[in-house]
Amino acid sequence: MDFSLSAEQKQIRDMVAEFVDEEVKPRAMEIDEEDEFPADLVAEMGELGLMGMPFPEEYGGAGLDYHSYAIGLAEISRGSGGLGTIVAAHTSLAGNMLYEFGNEAQKEEYLTPVNTGEDIGAFALSEAGAGSDVPAMTTTAEKEGDEYVVNGGKLWISNGSVADTVTLFAKTDPEADNKGISSFVVRPEEDDGFVVEGTEHKLGDKGCPTAELRFDDMRIPEDRLLGEEGDGFVHALKTLNGGRITIAARGVGIAQAALDDALAYSQDREQFDQPISDFQAIQHKLADMDTKLQAAKMLMHRAADKKIRGEKFIKEAAQAKLYASEISREVANEGIQIHGGYGYTTDFAAERYYRDAKLNEIYEGTSEILRNTIANQLLD
């Protein structure tokens, strides 16, 4: 097994790291305080090829492997957890739906501008009464002539209020349980009846708008159906499985930021006439933080390797996301502890890392659901 990065992967890492250090980190506190979608940074990422990293160049993507994509997303998340979610929801969810399940015409029309960053993507699956229980969704899409009429609503939709292209899930056969769910391409500016009810005020993940959407007799052309009617549930599961690798990357990036800050602070902060990094208690915290981070990276890359090879990676993706999510919170928590009282103030980024990390344990599969998934794979 070769654990070293290729020359291309190092180049991607260094390029994104430079962008993050020069453009994102100086803005991170502002993004967190104002909670506004950083359109200028997103546009710059589009110019750098960071909005369509894992997709072929023929569709406007960067043509990178999934290792490089995970590395890039981890670096973006190191600068801003909210920006990491913007890219993950846009690419791993909306973009992947279009790439994996769209026909050639749909890819040309909708995927290409998503990959270049000209359009922003969102993935509308969750509802107030249908989070982990996807088949409980109540949004419907009724066929009328050459159109579908959509009614219902979605909740917790990352990028939902700023998206140009939304991949939407709705029931075309309400009596068929999960086999009655279909997926569609929605264009908010074109489709009458698409309503943004508002955005959530969240603990962290600032800068990425999390929207509540409503559909009032929204008519969409039949050629916006992805695949066949009834394919939507499978589309969702496959897309979320790949997306878990990138949430692991978000966790890795946040944990790296927390460790970097804690390490620097411990060497600068003095107590009893010496840097606190001289104390064994602090050294042990730093050692545990880095060990957890390195293990999370390995799980992330193992899942990415399985995906690249075309092998089954359900368990590996769930394990990567579960572990990286939980250690990102743990590492961020220790980062606050090392900062002491300062870590509990907004003058330092330590508390922001903790707030951003917590979301990893909730979205795109809660830690409880992921443990079920891992156990099911073991038992099967």
Is-contact 54 65, C-beta < 8 A?
A: yes
- Pair 269, 375 in one domain: yes
Closest by CA to 362, choosing from 87, 53, 85, is 85
Last residue of a domain, one of 105, 120, 135: 120
Identify whether residues 145 and 186 lie together within a single domain.
yes
Q: Other CB atoms closer than 10 Å to residue 281's CB: what's the count?
A: 9
> Are 233 and 178 within 8 A, CB to CB?
yes
Residue 1 within a domain: no
Q: What is the pLDDT along the chain (380 residues), one digit of tens a residue?
A: 788 999 999 999 999 999 999 999 999 999 999 999 999 999 999 999 999 999 999 999 999 999 999 999 999 999 999 999 999 999 999 999 999 999 999 999 999 999 999 999 999 999 999 999 999 999 999 999 999 999 999 999 999 999 999 999 999 999 999 999 999 999 999 999 999 999 999 999 999 999 999 999 999 999 999 999 999 999 999 999 999 999 999 999 999 999 999 999 999 999 999 999 999 999 999 999 999 999 999 999 999 999 999 999 999 999 999 999 999 999 999 999 999 999 999 999 999 999 999 999 999 999 999 999 999 999 98
From CA 160, how far away is CA 212, in angstroms rounded?
Answer: 7
- How many domains does the chain fold into? 3
Domain that holds residue 272: 233-379
Give me the chain's average pLDDT, please.
98
Active site residues: 364
Residue 92 domain-assigned?
yes
Q: Is 342 exposed, middle or buried (0-12, 13-18, 19+ CB in 10 A)?
A: middle
| Digit-coded pLDDT (tens) for 143-181 | 999 999 999 999 999 999 999 999 999 999 999 999 999
241-246-30-10 Cα dihedral, nearest 10 degrees: -170
Residue ranges in 269-366 assigned as alpha helix (H):
280-308, 314-339, 350-358
Give 6's DSSP letter. Answer: P
The answer to whether the pTM exceeds 0.75 is: yes
Structure-token pair, residue 376? 């099911």
Alpha helices (runs of H) in 107-178, residue ranges in sequence order: 112-116
Residues 138 and 93 in one domain: no
